[in-house]
Amino acid sequence: MSFTTRESLLNKIQDGDQASWEEFYLLYRPMAFRHGRRLGLSREECDELFQQVMVQFFKSIGTFHYQPELGRFRNYLIRALRHAASRLLEHRQPVEMLPETLSAVNEGGLLNEIDRKILADWRGALFNQALAELKKQVEQQTFEAFCFYGLQRREVGEVADYLQMKPGSVYTAKSRCVAMLRNIIGELQKSDPEFKL
């Protein structure tokens, strides 16, 4: 497979590859932002949240060794987000800070729900990564037919008319893309078994 797995992305970052740092940023920043917003952080604080996680990761990259058998990268990232969010909330002015929010973050009352949402975000990011890889492997018209008919559930006749295809070709495009997407997801599952799509 040509797409970047979590392990190969981390290895490239460790080697100082700038493009991989940018991919890391684009992949995980939205997740960090949503996590911060769920905790009531402002947009500026959400940016600060991810910057803190990036700085922490950058500092540890020299000694960081990704070993999936010892724990998934997702778990590492969730812990880093949790600690950074807790630090940001603790440094707020007392009048701004809701005591129950800080208590929930520290004691885990809110974290179980947030962790579930982060896992959903994670799966969404992985699915988008799989779709991006699929798009590279098929013709544009085939990919569009799959998106319109297979993902958006539009009527086959409408999709065929719009893309100037025969209805049978739309069915074929969907079947082909579903099979390829299963293979791509199968590869992603090897590095993150909880993908579960």
Token code pair at residue 12: 């490239």
Q: What is the mean pLDDT of the chain?
A: 77
pLDDT digits (tens, 9 = 90+) for 120-161: 777 777 788 888 889 999 999 999 999 999 999 999 999 999
pLDDT for 98 beyond 50: no
pLDDT digits (tens, 9 = 90+) for 16-35: 778 878 887 887 888 888 88
pLDDT of residue 67: 59
Residues constituting the chain: 197
Residue scoring higher pLDDT (87 or 62): 87
